[in-house]
Structure 1
């Protein structure tokens, strides 16, 4: 059963971004909501696909400074983006090719952002403890991304 407090994050997101189509504004508030509602995390934010440079570029986030660019297929974010599938990594130290932006991060969940068949980027959340993320978290965050994508307009 989905934890009610975490489920409410999706309702809050809907209320906050209702009628706002600016992607950066909505991603900024979305990362702040995750930061407030998910305990035991140390980073929550977005990487956006740069069509020109063919890599993910840092977008709105909450947490410590982060890696700015991630190649398609590189690290956890690039892998989830390339494969177009959510990815939970219980121990990032065991993930081949992990990109350590913050040495304190021990586990990670990444949810791709895909709208109308167009890959936009990823939602990335890190935790300072191993095995932090569950399938329940994945379902909540996939719905969260779905709510977000319904409202934002993608760049041309």
Structure 2
């Protein structure tokens, strides 16, 4: 599915006000994972700035033990500190990588901002090497802009 078509689906999910924010986030994760072949694991982490940790709110894909990640640790933890997108074409090239599964080959993490503060992120793992493009970054930043409206 093209990103433009997927935007319509994300907007439809966002508009389901009868659902909780968490349920809508889960539906967004599922829509992304099933629509984009190289999105094999999709989840949202949210920051606890007091404890300097990220907490997995919802995801779709292979189960993970990484439900709490300290700021600075792994790709997600680094994004919590840098406030910048992080695209990893090959996870084996990263020293500070937390392996979520043996099949994961690449990862993209886009921070989620509310009122100028990094409150979390969308995290996507792929079982393919180097699948993510600038278009993925732009699209996922747009997804986060929609998500923040329900938080």
TM-score of the alignment, normalized to the shorter chain, above 0.5: yes
Closer, same or farther: CA 72–12 of 1 in aligned 2, 3 Å:
same
Q: Does structure 2 retain, via aligned residues, the 8 Å contact 1:45–1:62?
A: yes
Deviation at 1:117, TM superposition (A): 1.8
Q: Deviations over 1:5-24 (max 9, x none)?
A: 22221221112211638431
- Structure 1: unaligned runs, 5 residues or longer: none
- Does 1:62 pair with 2:69? no
Q: Does structure 1 retain, via aligned residues, the 8 Å contact 2:79–2:110?
A: yes
Q: Does structure 2 retain, via aligned residues, the 8 Å contact 1:10–1:147?
A: no
Please list every run of at least 4 consecutive aligned residues from structure 1 whose deviation after the TM superposition is greater than 3 angstroms. none
Structure 2 counterpart of 1:14: 11
- Structure 2: unaligned runs, 5 residues or longer: none
For 1:42 and 1:13, locate their aligned partners in 2 and report how far apart those are by CA, in whole Å. 18
2:46 to 42, 45, 48: 48
Pairwise mapping of residues 77-92 of structure 1 onto structure 2 (< 5 A)? 77-92=76-91
Identify the range of structure 1 (21-30 vs 53-62) with the bigger mean alpha-carbon deviation: 21-30
Pairwise mapping of residues 128-147 of structure 1 onto structure 2 (< 5 A)? 128-147=127-146
Q: Please, what TM-score do these two structures have when normalized by structure 1?
A: 0.88
Q: Does structure 2 retain, via aligned residues, the 8 Å contact 1:110–1:124?
A: yes
Structure 2 counterpart of 1:116: 115
Q: Deviations over 1:116-154 (max 9, x none)?
A: 1232211000011110111111111111111221x212x
Q: Please, what TM-score do these two structures have when normalized by structure 2?
A: 0.90
Identify the range of structure 1 (120-129 vs 8-17) with the bigger mean alpha-carbon deviation: 8-17
Number of aligned pairs? 149
Which structure ranks higher in relative contact order (CA pairs < 8 Å, sequence separation ≥ 6)? 1
Deviation at 1:51, TM superposition (A): 3.8
For 2:81 and 2:23, locate their aligned partners in 1 and report how far apart those are by CA, in whole Å. 25
